[in-house]
């Protein structure tokens, strides 16, 4: 099933390539009005000098997300004992290479230490555990994280809440508890709900809308929704129609369901990457794209989906794949005169590869932000306008409540 209009992407890509695209991905993303193009960095990557060269090149990757090092099992393996060494290495690497940091993640059913998983909690004690965890971890990184994935993967595919220790004890109140704690610990970081399979108007997508509404109805701040975008070559769903719903692609990779990839397959993958890029460009509220790693030599995919793989932008020998060129070309074609402000992109119609991505754009935001009435809380990220989720009408068919 090929849902993207690949020929349009390919034509645009070829056009831009023939005009000679030499700038790198993050440079191009900023010139096209986005805040960043970034990558996940796993701690072990930094022990490998050959990877460091690519991961630290902020012209390509202007933003970093720690793959594992800020998760609960890494930061509070035992109750009240906080360990930040590995997270700090990534935060320091990002900072010394001039990269923004997306911090990941606070409340998640996975990589949750046994003491949380198996504790005999009641509402008060688990609330206290969440508050302590978040205030310490977010507090430790205060001022360093452009965004935090506050709650991760809390939905089943049918849009219902995933069974986890937090839901079992606290019901759906744990969302507001977590977002409130994060907001208090760092008023300037963007607070995201992050999940996979939100890229279509599915029941799960509507579940994410419900979470946004729930948190806001409780009077707490939630700034964005991360679409992880772990996709499959040739099956990548188009972005939601007429709906500038996502505010970031947070873990993008597009895997082959079987290997080796053919050269036609690599072209399809390039088209799919191009289409995701075009989708972000077409949506003013989409601040940036993060790929989950950069090289096919280092990816979570084969370990989780045996036989699948080659999902990233560089091959196993660190050579750029057609996917890299496709992103580069689409971004180059979308270059704006202003650049770098996050949003406000002017996308040539030739790059709007599917009509479904031509969303009704909210007017560019200037002064006030939606943010639960909080105003522009984060001017240093030049991102105030992107807080206007009420304008983004997250969820397409449901107005986000203030």
Catalytic residue numbers?
A: 153, 251
Asked if 66 touches ligand 9MR (CB under 6 A), the answer is no
Q: Which residues contact 13 (CB under 8 A, 6 or more apart)?
A: 270, 274, 325, 326, 329, 330
Number of residues that bind ligand 9MR (CB under 6 A): 10
Q: Give the shortest CB-285-to-ligand 9MR separation in angstroms.
A: 21
> 190: which strand partners?
147
**Of 358, 331, 243, 326, nearest in space to 36 by CA:** 331
List the one residue from 68, 197, 245, 325 that touches ligand 9MR (CB under 6 A): 68
Asked if 14 touches ligand 9MR (CB under 6 A), the answer is no
Q: Which is nearer to ligand 9MR, 6 or 308 (CB)?
A: 308
Q: Which is nearer to ligand 9MR, 152 or 354 (CB)?
A: 152
List the one residue from 33, 56, 62, 67 that touches ligand 9MR (CB under 6 A): 67
Binding mask 180-209 for ligand 9MR (x = CB under 6 A): ------------------------------
**Of 280, 390, 391, nearest in space to 33 by CA:** 280
Q: Give the shortest CB-63-to-ligand 9MR separation in angstroms.
A: 16
For the chain, the 3-state helix, strand and coil shares in percent, each to the nearest 5, are: 40, 15, 45
Q: Give the shortest CB-173-to-ligand 9MR separation in angstroms.
A: 23
Q: Give the shortest CB-109-to-ligand 9MR separation in angstroms.
A: 10
- The DSSP result for 24-44, as a single string, is -HHHHHHHTT-SEEEEEE-GG
Residues between 251 and 290 with contacts to ligand 9MR, criterion CB under 6 A: 251
Residues between 302 and 321 with contacts to ligand 9MR, criterion CB under 6 A: 304
Q: Give the shortest CB-46-to-ligand 9MR separation in angstroms.
A: 14
Asked if 87 touches ligand 9MR (CB under 6 A), the answer is no
List the one residue from 256, 300, 324, 394 that touches ligand 9MR (CB under 6 A): 300
Q: Which is nearer to ligand 9MR, 30 or 190 (CB)?
A: 190
List the one residue from 19, 78, 92, 111 that touches ligand 9MR (CB under 6 A): 111
Q: Which is nearer to ligand 9MR, 182 or 278 (CB)?
A: 182
Asked if 42 touches ligand 9MR (CB under 6 A), the answer is yes
Helix axes 6-18, 322-333, angle to 10 degrees: 80
Asked if 228 touches ligand 9MR (CB under 6 A), the answer is yes
Q: Which is nearer to ligand 9MR, 281 or 313 (CB)?
A: 313
Q: Which is nearer to ligand 9MR, 170 or 252 (CB)?
A: 252
Contact residues for ligand 9MR (CB under 6 A)? Answer: 42, 67-68, 110-111, 152, 228, 251, 300, 304
């Amino acid at each position: 099933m090929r849902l993207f209009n690949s020929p349009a992407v390919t034509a645009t890509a070829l056009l831009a390539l023939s005009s000679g695209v030499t700038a790198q991905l993050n440079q191009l993303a900023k010139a096209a009005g986005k805040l960043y193009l970034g990558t996940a960095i796993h701690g072990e990557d930094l022990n490998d000098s050959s990877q460091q060269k690519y991961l630290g090149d902020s012209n390509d990757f202007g933003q970093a997300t720690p793959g594992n090092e800020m998760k609960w099992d890494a930061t509070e393996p035992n109750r009240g004992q906080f360990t930040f060494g590995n997270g700090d290495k990534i935060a320091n690497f990002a900072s010394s290479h001039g990269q923004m940091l997306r911090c990941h993640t606070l409340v998640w059913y996975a990589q949750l230490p046994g003491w949380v998983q198996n504790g005999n909690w009641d509402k008060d004690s688990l609330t206290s555990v969440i508050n302590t965890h978040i205030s310490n971890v977010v507090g430790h990184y205060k001022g360093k994280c452009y965004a935090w994935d506050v709650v991760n993967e809390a939905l089943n595919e049918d849009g219902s809440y995933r069974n986890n220790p937090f839901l079992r004890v606290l019901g759906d109140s744990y969302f507001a508890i977590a977002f409130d704690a994060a907001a208090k610990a760092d008023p300037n970081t963007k607070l995201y709900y992050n999940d996979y399979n939100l890229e279509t108007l599915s029941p799960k997508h509507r579940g994410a809308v419900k979470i946004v509404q729930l948190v806001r109805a409780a009077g707490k701040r939630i700034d964005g929704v991360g679409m992880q975008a772990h996709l499959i070559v040739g099956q990548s769903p188009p972005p939601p129609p007429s709906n500038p719903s996502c505010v970031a692609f947070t873990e993008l990779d597009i895997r082959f369901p079987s290997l080796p990839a053919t050269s036609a397959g690599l072209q399809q993958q390039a088209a799919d990457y191009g289409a995701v890029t075009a989708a972000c460009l077409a949506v003013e509220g989409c601040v940036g794209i993060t790929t989950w790693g950069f090289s096919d030599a280092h990816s979570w995919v084969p370990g989780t989906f045996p036989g699948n793989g080659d999902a990233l932008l560089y091959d196993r020998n660190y050579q750029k794949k057609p996917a890299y060129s496709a992103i580069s070309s689409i971004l180059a074609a979308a270059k704006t005169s202003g650049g770098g402000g996050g949003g406000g992109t002017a996308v040539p119609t030739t790059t709007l590869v599917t009509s479904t991505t031509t969303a009704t754009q909210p007017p560019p935001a200037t002064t006030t932000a939606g943010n639960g009435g909080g105003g522009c809380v984060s001017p240093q990220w030049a991102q105030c306008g992107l807080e206007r989720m009420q304008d983004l009408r997250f969820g397409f068919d449901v107005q986000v409540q203030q």
